[in-house]
Amino acid sequence: MIRFDQVGFTYPGATRPTLSGVDLSVDEGELCLVVGRTGSGKSTLLRAVNGLVPRFTGGLLTGSVWVGGRRTEDHPPRDLADLVGVVGQDPAAGFVSDTVEDELAYAMENLGVPADVMRRRVEDTLDLLGLHELRSRPLITLSGGQQQRVAIGAVLTASPRVLVLDEPTSALDPAAAEEVLAALTRLVHDLGITVLVAEHRLERVVQYADRIIHLPGGGRSVEVGSPAEIMATSPVAPPVVELGRLAGWSPLPLSIRDARRAAKPLRERLASIAPAADALSGSLADLTMAGVVPRSGAVLASTRSLHAAYGPVVALRGVDLEVRAGEVLAIMGRNGSGKSTLLSHLVGLRAPQSGRVDVDGHEPHRLGPADAIRRIGMVPQDAGLLLNADSVEAECRANDHDAGLAAGATAASLAALVPGIDPEAHPRDLSEGQRLGLALAVVLAPAPPVVVLDEPTRGLDYEAKDRLVGVLERLVAEGHAVVLATHDVEVVARVADRVVVLADGDVVADGPAREVVSHSPVFAPQVAKVLAPEPWLTVAEVEKALAGMTP
Amino acid sequence: MTATTPDASPVGARARVRESAMSAAPGSGAAPAVGRLARLRRHPATRRALHPGAWWLWAGGLAAAAMRTTNPFLLGLIIGVAAYVVAARRTSAPWARSFASFARLAVFVVVFRMVIQILFGDRLPGTTLFTLPSIALPDWMAGVSLGGPVTAEALVMAFNQGLRLAAVLICFGAVNSLCSPYRMLRALPAALYEAGVAVTVALSFAPQAVMQAGRIREARRLRGRPTKGLAGLRGMAIPVLEGALDRSVALAASMDTRGYGRRATVAPAIRRITSITTGIGLLAVTVGLYGVLDAGAPQGLGLPLLGMGSVALAASVFAGGRRAVRTRYRPDPWRLAEWVVSLSGLAALAGMIAAARTPGGGEALNPSFFPLVWPTLPLVAAAGILVALLPSVAAPRPPAFVTLPPEITKPEIEPDASAEVER
C-alpha cells in the first residue's frame, strides 16, 4: 500500500539529511507505528506519504514514495486526497470551515462525492467517532479531544485507504486517548484501512500495532519489525515492556493483559516487601498511619473556594488547594476539567470570580509582571511562546535584563538544567525537550519558590522525560514547590508526591500520589495495573526492590 | 435541547404576539402564509438555518435603500429594523456577537464624521453655532481649512451623511450575525468557490490573530514583561504575525491534503468564452449597480444593465463550474421563508425608489440643508422599510446549541451535556 524506495530527505539549509536510505513497505490493513526519539524524522516520514514533504516544506527528496500505485512525485497532495488522509499534530490549525458537520463534508465536496453518499458518510462518521451530539457546534468551541476526533473524521469521510496520524493522542487525557485509539483499531479491523501513526506515548499504542517502524535517527538505517522484536531492543519502550525486560519475560508482553498473566510469580515475590519509603514521599508507610497525609513544608500558595466561569460554563466550583514547599503536586483530570484554568489563576493570569488565591501573602493577579515572576513561575503548554529572541544566548540575556538579574544568571540556570545547548541556536530549531529546558531555565532564573508546568511532557520522548523528572526531583530537593498539570500518568507515578483530580471544576480526589493513582482505573500507570494489588508504580521501584532481595 | 427551545426573551414574546395578531387579521392576504410559517416554527423540528443568500438579499436591499437617502428618520428606521431582526433571529454562535462590534463602529463613524466636519469641514454659510479659533494654512493647502465658524447646517449635514454610512454598516453587521460568512461561501456557485475560500481564510485571520495575541500577552506576563501600554504592544506584533503565518501554512497543507483545488479537464474554447463573458458581466453589473445606488444617475442605466450583466455572469459561472469537480453537502433549501425574507429586504429598496418618483419625493428623501428644513417622513419609503421587519417573524428560528465566548479556545474547557441541561 505504501512503499518507500531508497528515500532520503534534507530540509533546506540543513547540513545533514533527516531521512536517508529509507526502504520500507506497509501492507494493506496494517496498523503501523512509527517510533523514535524527537528529531529522528517521524513527522517528516509521515508527511512524505502524501507529498506534503517536500511540496510544503521545500528541501530535497531523493528516491521515491509510492502510495496505492501512485508516486508522490507525479501527484500533488490534492490528487492523493481520495487515497491518503493526513491528520497533523495540531488539529485546530487545519480546520477550514466553522461547524463540525461542514468540516466533515469538506473533503468529500472537493472530491465531488454525490450528495446522498456524502450525507450517509457524514452520519456514519459522526457515529463511528462519537460526534453526533456535536454535529452543529462551531469548531472553536470544542475541547482538544473533540477537535482531534473531528480532524480524524474530516479525512475519514473521503474514505481514504491510508490514514496517517502524527501524535493523535498527545493532547488528550487517558480516557479520550483510549476513545481515539479504539476508533482507529475499529477502522483497521472493520474497514481494512492502513494506518500509519507516530506517537511518543508508546504505552498507549504499542499494543494495537501490527508492525513498528523504528527511526533510530542520526543517519542509521530504519528498523522494521513486529512489535515484540523491535521492543526487545528499542531504546524507547513503554513501562510494561521495561518491566518485562527486567523480569526476563518471554515473549515480551506488550499489553497489560499479557503482562498480568506473566506477572504472577513476580507479584508473589514482591508481596513480602513494601516499596522503599524514599521512592515517593506520601508512601505506603505514611499512609498506614491512620490515613494521615504527610505535609511537611510550609504553604507557599493556596486557593480558597475559587470559582471561575467562561460565560455560562462553570470551569471551577469552589476549589481549595494548598501547595507546600518540597512537594510535586500533580493536577489531573480529563480535558476540560479546569486544570489550565486553575493554573492560570494560581499565577495570576486571570482574576478569580470569587474566592481567593494567595501566593506568598499576595493575590497574584494584583502583582505586577516583574514582581509576580519572583514569587511564582509558569511554563505554559506551548513552551515556545515564552521564547522570542533569535538565539539561545540572546534569550538568556533578555531574561537577565527583564527579571533584573545579574548577567549570566539565566545562562547558568540553563547549564544546570540542560547542559550542552548551542548558545547560537535559534529557539525554534531546538528539540522539543531542549526548548522546554530553555523555557524552564528562563522561568527558574528569578528563583520563584513555586513553579507551575502545564502539560510539560507533550511531545517529549522517554529520554527527555527522564531528564525532566530528574530536574523536577532536584527542584523539590532544593525546597521549591512544583505544580504539574498533566495527562501523563507514567510521569505522575514517577515524580508526584500528591495528586489532585479535578472533574467538572470540582476537586474529586486529593491525596498522596500512590493512593490516588493506583485506585483509579483511568489514572493508574502500567506497572500498577500489572502488579495490582501490590502497590508498585514504577519500574525503578521494582528494580530497586528486586536488587535488594537478590544479594 | 428541550431546555433551550423556548425562547424566553422579551423579543421572542413580542414577536409571537404580533404574529398571532397578523394571522388573525381578517381579509389580510399574507395571513395564511404567515400563519402557516408560525405553525411550522412552533414545532421544534422547523428550527433550521435560513439560506444565507436570503439574508444577504434582505440586508443588501436595506443597505441599498439606506444609500438612497439622507433622511434621518428613514435611516433611523432602517437601523432599528435591522437591529430588531438581529435580536429576534440571530444564532448563539460566536460570530453572532459581531453585531455589537458593528454597532460600536457605526457610532464611531457618525461621531468621527461630525468631528471632522467641525475641525476641517467646508465653512458653509448659515446659522453659526460657535466659532473655533481658525488657523491660516499655506496656499498649497487651499480648500482645506482648520477651525472657523461651525454652522448648524454643516453639523446636520455631517450627521446625516455619517448616519447613512452607519446604517449601511449596521446592515452588513446584521447579515454577519444572522448567518456565518462561511455558509454564504458554501452557497456560492462552484466557479466562484475558490475566490471565496481566499476571502474566508482572510476573514479568519483577525480572530486567530486576536487569540494568538491573548496567548502571547499571557506569555509576556510569565516572562515578567509589561503587558499594557506601548511597551506591551511592542514586541507582540512579530510573534502574532509569525503565529498567523504558521497557521496559514498549516491550513494550506490541510486544504491541499483534503483535495482542495482538484480540477476536471475542460476544452480551452470553453475556458476562453468563460473568461470573456465574466469580464463583460462584471463590467455591466458594476455600471448597473452604480445606476441603481446613485439616484442621480441617468434613468434607464441601472436596472437594464444590471440585468444584462447578471445574465452574462450567470452564464460564465455555469460554464466555469464545469471545471470544478465539487459537489455540495446538504445545500440550504430555498423555501417560502427564503422568498419572504429576501423580498422583504428588496421591498425596502422598492419603497425608496417609488418614494423618489412621487411628487416632492426627492426632497423628502434628501432633505435640504440650505435652508435647513425639518425633515418629513415619506410614508411610502417608511412602509417599505417596515416590510423588512417581516423576517423577525417569517424566518425560521436558528438551530440552538450551547456555545462559549471566543476567548476559550484552549482545549481545557469542554462544555458538556450537563451545561446545556443546567441552562
Given a cut of 60, is residue B422 above it in pLDDT?
A: no
Neighbours of B5 (CB within 10 A): 10
Give me the mean pLDDT over the B220-243 stretch. Answer: 77
CA angle, B190 then B192 then B193, to 5°: 60
CB contact under 8 A, B330 and A119: yes
Instruction: Compute the nearest-CA separation of B397 from chain A (Å).
Output: 14
- pLDDT band, residue B297 (cuts 50/70/90): low
Nearest-by-Cβ selection for B411 from A143, A347, A348: A143
Q: Of the ranges A61-70, B110-119, B316-325, which one carries the lowest mean pLDDT score?
A: B316-325
**CA atoms within 13 A of residue B97's CA, in its CB half-sphere:** 9
Closest CA to A483 of A341, A380, A331, A364: A331
Task: Give A347's contacts in chain B (Cβ within 8 Å).
Answer: 222
Place of cell 451535556: B417
What's residue B106's pLDDT? 94
Q: Mind listing the pLDDT tens digit for each residue in A339-370? A: 888 999 999 998 998 999 999 889 999 988 88
Q: Which three cell numbers stand for residue A512?
A: 498522596
Q: Is residue A443 less than 8 Å (CB to CB) from chain B?
A: yes
Given a cut of 50, is residue A205 above it in pLDDT?
A: yes
Q: Which of B98, B234, B401, B414 to mutate to test the interface with A (most CBs of A within 10 A)?
A: B414
Instruction: Compute the nearest-CA separation of B243 from chain A (Å).
Output: 10
CB contact under 8 A, A90 and B250: yes
Residue A57 DSSP SS3? coil
Q: Which of A43, A67, A98 to mutate to test the interface with B (most CBs of B within 10 A)?
A: A98
Q: Mind listing the pLDDT tens digit for each residue in A226-250? A: 998 898 888 888 999 999 999 888 8
- A342 φ, ψ to 5°? -60, -45
CA nearest to B180 within chain A: A98
CA nearest to A139 within chain B: B409
CB contact under 8 A, B326 and A369: no
The more confidently predicted of residues A121 and B141 is A121
d(CA B258, CA A107): 5
CA nearest to A133 within chain B: B417
CA nearest to A137 within chain B: B401
Tally of helices (H runs) and strands (E runs) in chain A = 22, 19
Q: What is the 3-state secondary structure (H, E, C) of B366-419?
A: CCCCCCCCCCCCCHHHHHHHHHCCCHHHHCCCCCCCCCCCCCCCCCCECCCHHH
Task: Give B331's contacts in chain A (Cβ within 8 Å).
Answer: 115
Query: Across chain B, what does the average pLDDT equal?
Result: 76
Nearest-by-Cβ selection for A171 from B180, B406, B411: B411
Q: Is residue A417 less than 8 Å (CB to CB) from chain B?
A: no
What's residue B33's pLDDT? 52
Instruction: Compute the nearest-CA separation of A167 from chain B (Å).
Output: 16
Burial of B374 (0-12, 13-18, 19+ CB in 10 A): exposed
Instruction: Compute the nearest-CA separation of B378 from chain A (Å).
Output: 43
**CA atoms within 13 A of residue A471's CA, in its CB half-sphere:** 26
What's residue B85's pLDDT? 94
Q: How long, in residues, is chain B?
A: 423
Nearest-by-Cβ selection for A81 from B94, B182, B257: B257
Give me the mean pLDDT over the B8-19 stretch. Answer: 40
Name every residue whose Cβ is closer than 8 Å to that of residue B16 and which is 6 or more positions away in sequence.
Answer: none
Report yes or no on whether pTM surpasses 0.80.
no
Task: Give B409's contacts in chain A (Cβ within 8 Å).
Answer: 92, 140
Given a cut of 50, is residue B421 above it in pLDDT?
A: no
Place of cell 537577565: A400
A-B CB pairs within 8 A amount to: 233
Give me the mean pLDDT over the B199-222 stretch. Answer: 77
Nearest-by-Cβ selection for B226 from A140, A312, A369: A369
The more confidently predicted of residues B231 and A512 is A512
Give the Å distances, CA to CA, from A472 to A237, A331, A466, A477: 22, 15, 10, 9
The more confidently predicted of residues B420 and A133 is A133
Q: Report percent pLDDT > 70 for chain A.
A: 95
What's residue A274's pLDDT? 66
Q: Of the ranges A97-101, B92-96, B236-240, which one carries the lowest mean pLDDT score?
A: B92-96
Instruction: Compute the nearest-CA separation of A67 from chain B (Å).
Output: 14
The more confidently predicted of residues B90 and B123 is B90
CB contact under 8 A, B251 and A93: yes
CB contact under 8 A, B412 and A143: yes
Question: Which value, in Å, is the radius of gyration of the alpha carbons in chain A?
Answer: 24
Residue A84 DSSP SS3? strand
DSSP assignments along A432-477, one per residue: HHHHHHHHHHHHHTT--SEEEEESTTTT--HHHHHHHHHHHHHHHH
Q: Mind listing the pLDDT tens digit for each residue in A484-539? A: 999 899 999 999 999 999 998 899 999 888 888 887 888 889 999 998 888 888 89
Task: Give A349's contacts in chain B (Cβ within 8 Å).
Answer: 218, 221-222
Instruction: Compute the nearest-CA separation of A386 from chain B (Å).
Output: 5
Q: Is residue A116 less than 8 Å (CB to CB) from chain B?
A: no
B127-149 burial: b if 16+ Cβ within 10 Å, else e: eeeeeeeeeeeeeeeeeebebbb
Give me the mean pLDDT over the A395-420 stretch. Answer: 85
Q: Which three cell numbers stand for residue A338?
A: 479546569
Nearest-by-Cβ selection for B224 from A145, A338, A370: A370
CB contact under 8 A, A335 and B414: yes
Nearest-by-Cβ selection for B251 from A52, A81, A94: A94
Nearest-by-Cβ selection for B327 from A114, A145, A315: A114
What's residue B295's pLDDT? 65
Q: Do residues A41 and A215 make contact, with C-beta atoms less than 8 angstroms apart?
A: yes
Q: Which of A47, A126, A156, A313 to mutate to test the interface with B (most CBs of B within 10 A)?
A: A313
What's residue A500's pLDDT? 93
